[in-house]
Structure 1
Amino acid sequence: MRSLRRRLLLWLLPATLLAGLLASAATYWGALSELDEVLGDQLKGIGQHVVVDENNRVSLTGLRQRDDDRMSGEQSHGVLLQIWRGATQIFSSDPDSILPPPVGTGLADITVGGQLWHSFVTREGDVSVRVAQQRKARWEAVAEIAMHLFWPVLSLVPVLALFLWFGIGYGLRPLREIAASLKRRDANNMQPIYTAAMPGEVKPLVDALNDLLHRLDNAFTAQKNFIADAAHELRTPIMGLGLQAELLERASSAAEREEINAQLRVGVVRLARLSEQLLTLARLSPDAQLAEDQPFDLCALARSVVSDRSRVAEVNDVDLGLVEGTPLIVRGNAENVRILLNNLVDNAIRYGGSHSRVDVVVHSHEGRPVVEVRDTGPGIAEVDLPRVWERFYRGSGHAASGSGLGLSIARRIAEQHHAVISLERGLDGRGLTVRVCFPGAPADLAYAATAH
């Protein structure tokens, strides 16, 4: 399992160490230029305090006498001292160091045997005093300074890692508290997590969790209500079938048994349709995603639905027809839209009554595909309009049987396709029109459909 603390530590520790090294490097380069000036002044100071008497004896006035190993010019803290009378060397603190006679005064760099020397020369009469130091000796001094600069940074890495480890752990404590709070909850506790004391970085996560808990609470509530309503709706037809079965056992004549069998068949068909619609409604939950999202021709789909339902319309003595124009492309799940149209056409046939007329009209309105199911039936009473979208609501004044799920299923499918479904007046100013307006199809799909 990946650790957020370890991941933060792997990012923060190298970044902090790099910042420390960069700061030390900047200090180092600044100190390097200063060191050249300081060591140059040191050479000047030593050269100006050298005194040579008439007997060629050398003394250092105002300076502490140095050890012999520090007067070679090859040590990081040492310098080479030479006294010249004319072109003759009369004194050298390191006889092994062979430098040519000085030709001028002041600071100068000379190269002897592939080694660079920094030197300072003073002259009084025919006596020249040279104080010199090898370049590599200065680099040794610089290396010592670098060690003093970088060693504290490196030595602080374990301490820094420890502080970062516990600091990150302290910063992640709100996440552990959220996890512990959720772990203590039971399945029925969907209360939002308190966010007032949460850090700003954690609050978006908690807000998302609260939104999820809210949606889960709504889904569980809808599921409980659906199960309760379904159990209530299924109880009546099941009890009816049980009673018809008991009556069938007591039937005394063939005619009576045939009548009971007919009622049983009607009850089984009604129960099968109710079960099918319940399963469809359960599958079309508000948060369910479309199983398939493909373009299809709404006119061809409506033509297929009218053809399938024509036999039902004929049995119920209903005039079912289709009014269509050019192909209209809709993007979505064609099978779900077929269920929508089947429910609307079935409702119109069932509630329109015999000798009624049902038209399925497919057209375009302001660039949006529209399908309408119009009938000349009794329509829906004004008092029932606010509740017709509710599950299992059948309204008043209708003799036809039904489950009260058709419009609810149609509305769910319309919402899945971001379509608008509405109720209007039917044919000839009476009856009912159910209008479904789909989103406009992309231009390339519409062009392809027209060309085809």
Structure 2
Amino acid sequence: MSSLRRRLLLWLLPATFLVGLLASIGTYWGAVLELNDLLNDQMRYLAEHISVEPGERVVLTDTGNKPSPLRDDNADEVLLQVWSAGVLSYTTDSALRLPPPLQAGLSDVEVGDQIWHTFVSQRGDKVFRVAQAQNKRWEELAGLAVHLLWPVVSLIPLLALFLWFGITYGLKPLKTVATELSERNVNSLQPIASKELPGEVKPLVEALNDLLERLANAFAMQKHFIADAAHELRTPVAALCIQVELAQRATQEVDRQVSLSEVQSGVMRLTHLTQQLLTLARLEPDAQSPVMQRVELSALCKSVITDQVRRAEASGIDLGLTEHAASSICGDPETLRILLNNLVDNAIRYAGAHAKIDVAVRDTDEGVVLEVCDNGPGINAAERERVLERFYRGNNQTGSGSGLGLAIVKTIAEQHGAQVVLNAAPNGWGLRVSVTFPSKLDNHAG
């Protein structure tokens, strides 16, 4: 069903008709009871107020000051009989034979296929009976039913018209919201005013406003990211252009080789920066959520160390796993590998030649801790919070980093509900980066 208005009409019209029908049936049933009582009272009244005058003339008394004679033209409505000593002495319908009355009061008498409602009154040696055929009452009731049901049926078109305009008016706020959204441009993400809207429409508008707010934040972050990326890419690209130009102008082979070596280093730095930018873009909050599964941190550390050990040995760096608690967490293996790779890569870049880098996994009261510690120059205490920001490099950092490594680590940690803390190494030198995951896998997943 594409039309909400049509759907409401198809529900409301039958429901209204059903309610009207039930109300008519209830009214009809009440009228049946009332009509039966009324007709019984009429028969009682007739039986108690008819009398026989000399000459066997039957009259109805108590009709003002004069007696009213009963005519035979009333026979189609009620049957009047006068009995004397068990013998029928008067009847308004001589063709109809009812058995003699046996007792006074109301009773039903069946003659053939017809049931007669009767009332018998005895005065002296006279017995007066008033009777009415059941089918006569049903005719009256059928007419009453038609009068009750006809207004309900006849009002359905008018009711449908009122419902149509009423539903149209009720849906007007939705049309107002749709019109406002259709008139906006792609950059207009202001919330929709919901103060004057009905309570039924407010949840929809509030959900739209929440979506618009998240879109605005995502676009702002995207613009900020693009601006930062453009700024960071400008420097290495300009440096590459200069080195290529110097290599072209060099007249000596030695100078040419030096320039080409600088070009190679610049390309490597640019490649690293591009990879980090792509990784950071993939980790944006509005990106698709990773699929969480069981990850054993010690095994992940051994794998990353195996990948990085040759590079560390080339600089004379001692890289190893010092503690390896058998702890598992619920996380995304791919992004956790990126997190650990960035921590080890930063340590190798900035710790310096012949440094020592220790990787550890341990259980604590706070949860599972992944730690990378080096004995390099470290980071000043005042800068330890800022280095977690994008593109920020410490004042004493001389490596060829992109300024995105620790920002990526922080983003991945937040996705896993973990906390990143930077401190000095235990000996007072170097840097220790601790990533504390809230709890073990056993508490969250099986």
**What TM-score, normalized to structure 2?**
0.92
Runs of 4+ in 1 over 4 A off after TM superposition: 63-70
CA apart distance, 1:354: 1.5
The amino acid across from 2:402 in the alignment is S
Note if contact 1:290-1:332 (Cα within 8 Å) is conserved in structure 2.
no
CA apart distance, 1:254: 2.6
Q: Which residue of 1 aligns with 2:391?
A: 392
Q: Which residue of 2 aligns with 1:75?
A: none
In structure 2, C-alpha distance between the alignment counterparts of 1:101 and 1:249, rounded to whole Å: 139
Q: Which residue of 2 aligns with 1:382?
A: 381
Note if contact 2:58-2:69 (Cα within 8 Å) is conserved in structure 1.
no
The amino acid across from 1:167 in the alignment is G
The amino acid across from 1:91 in the alignment is Y
CA apart distance, 1:67: 8.0
Q: Which piece of structure 1 moves more, 60-69 or 385-394?
A: 60-69
Q: Which residue of 1 aligns with 2:358?
A: 359
Q: Which residue of 2 aligns with 1:71?
A: 75
In structure 2, C-alpha distance between the alignment counterparts of 1:86 and 1:302, rounded to whole Å: 122
CA apart distance, 1:64: 7.1
In structure 1, C-alpha distance between the alignment counterparts of 2:150 and 2:262, rounded to whole Å: 97
In structure 2, C-alpha distance between the alignment counterparts of 1:12 and 1:211, rounded to whole Å: 33
Find the residue that maps to 2:388 and give its secondary structure.
coil
Matches within 5 A, 1:397-436: 397-436=396-435
* 417 and 185 in structure 1: CA distance in 2 versus 1, 3 angstrom threshold: same
In structure 2, C-alpha distance between the alignment counterparts of 1:297 and 1:67, rounded to whole Å: 110
In structure 1, C-alpha distance between the alignment counterparts of 2:9 and 2:68, rounded to whole Å: 53
Q: Which residue of 1 aligns with 2:103?
A: 104
Identity rate, percent: 52
In structure 2, C-alpha distance between the alignment counterparts of 1:141 and 1:324, rounded to whole Å: 100
The amino acid across from 1:20 in the alignment is G
CA apart distance, 1:442: 4.5
Matches within 5 A, 1:140-289: 140-289=139-288
In structure 2, C-alpha distance between the alignment counterparts of 1:19 and 1:302, rounded to whole Å: 72
Q: Which residue of 2 aligns with 1:438?
A: 437
In structure 2, C-alpha distance between the alignment counterparts of 1:90 and 1:350, rounded to whole Å: 133
Deviations 1:22-72 (A, max 9, x none): 333332222222222111101011222322233323233438778866523
Q: Which piece of structure 1 moves more, 42-51 or 339-348?
A: 42-51
Deviations 1:264-296 (A, max 9, x none): 211111111111111111111112232322212
Q: Which residue of 2 aligns with 1:24?
A: 24
Q: Which piece of structure 1 moves more, 363-372 or 169-178?
A: 363-372
In structure 2, C-alpha distance between the alignment counterparts of 1:66 and 1:227, rounded to whole Å: 108
The amino acid across from 2:409 in the alignment is A
The amino acid across from 2:9 in the alignment is L
In structure 2, C-alpha distance between the alignment counterparts of 1:366 and 1:149, rounded to whole Å: 79
Note if contact 2:377-2:429 (Cα within 8 Å) is conserved in structure 1.
yes
In structure 1, C-alpha distance between the alignment counterparts of 2:68 and 2:146, rounded to whole Å: 28
In structure 1, C-alpha distance between the alignment counterparts of 2:279 and 2:48, rounded to whole Å: 106
* 369 and 427 in structure 1: CA distance in 2 versus 1, 3 angstrom threshold: same
Note if contact 1:290-1:333 (Cα within 8 Å) is conserved in structure 2.
no
In structure 1, C-alpha distance between the alignment counterparts of 2:424 and 2:136, rounded to whole Å: 104
Q: Which residue of 2 aligns with 1:82?
A: 81
In structure 2, C-alpha distance between the alignment counterparts of 1:206 and 1:24, rounded to whole Å: 42
Note if contact 2:389-2:407 (Cα within 8 Å) is conserved in structure 1.
yes
Note if contact 2:58-2:70 (Cα within 8 Å) is conserved in structure 1.
no
Pairs aligned (count)? 442
Q: Which piece of structure 1 moves more, 141-150 or 189-198?
A: 141-150
Q: Which residue of 2 aligns with 1:129?
A: 128
The amino acid across from 2:394 in the alignment is G
The amino acid across from 1:404 in the alignment is G
The amino acid across from 1:71 in the alignment is A
* 235 and 327 in structure 1: CA distance in 2 versus 1, 3 angstrom threshold: same
CA apart distance, 1:140: 2.5
The amino acid across from 1:345 in the alignment is V
Note if contact 1:174-1:198 (Cα within 8 Å) is conserved in structure 2.
yes
* 70 and 331 in structure 1: CA distance in 2 versus 1, 3 angstrom threshold: farther
Deviations 1:419-450 (A, max 9, x none): 2222222242222221112232443778x7xx
In structure 1, C-alpha distance between the alignment counterparts of 2:442 and 2:273, rounded to whole Å: 40
Q: Which residue of 2 aligns with 1:38?
A: 38
The amino acid across from 2:35 in the alignment is L
The amino acid across from 2:228 in the alignment is D
Note if contact 1:372-1:435 (Cα within 8 Å) is conserved in structure 2.
yes
1:60 has 2:60 as partner: yes
Find the residue that maps to 1:200 and give its secondary structure.
coil
In structure 2, C-alpha distance between the alignment counterparts of 1:190 and 1:414, rounded to whole Å: 30
The amino acid across from 2:379 in the alignment is I
Note if contact 2:294-2:441 (Cα within 8 Å) is conserved in structure 1.
no
Q: Which piece of structure 1 moves more, 333-342 or 237-246?
A: 237-246
The amino acid across from 2:213 in the alignment is H
Q: Return 5+ residue gaps in structure 1 as ranges.
A: 73-77
Find the residue that maps to 2:420 and give its secondary structure.
strand
In structure 2, C-alpha distance between the alignment counterparts of 1:389 and 1:67, rounded to whole Å: 113
In structure 2, C-alpha distance between the alignment counterparts of 1:136 and 1:145, rounded to whole Å: 14
* 354 and 224 in structure 1: CA distance in 2 versus 1, 3 angstrom threshold: same
* 213 and 158 in structure 1: CA distance in 2 versus 1, 3 angstrom threshold: same
The amino acid across from 1:426 in the alignment is A
Find the residue that maps to 1:324 and give its secondary structure.
strand
* 425 and 137 in structure 1: CA distance in 2 versus 1, 3 angstrom threshold: farther
* 67 and 387 in structure 1: CA distance in 2 versus 1, 3 angstrom threshold: farther
Note if contact 1:193-1:210 (Cα within 8 Å) is conserved in structure 2.
yes
Matches within 5 A, 1:301-320: 301-320=300-319
Note if contact 2:366-2:436 (Cα within 8 Å) is conserved in structure 1.
no
In structure 2, C-alpha distance between the alignment counterparts of 1:258 and 1:44, rounded to whole Å: 132
Give the superposed CA RMSD. 2.2
Find the residue that maps to 2:291 and give its secondary structure.
coil
In structure 1, C-alpha distance between the alignment counterparts of 2:423 and 2:58, rounded to whole Å: 122
* 298 and 140 in structure 1: CA distance in 2 versus 1, 3 angstrom threshold: farther
Note if contact 1:313-1:319 (Cα within 8 Å) is conserved in structure 2.
yes
CA apart distance, 1:89: 2.5
Q: Which residue of 2 aligns with 1:93?
A: 92
CA apart distance, 1:21: 2.6
Note if contact 1:289-1:416 (Cα within 8 Å) is conserved in structure 2.
no
In structure 2, C-alpha distance between the alignment counterparts of 1:380 and 1:256, rounded to whole Å: 36
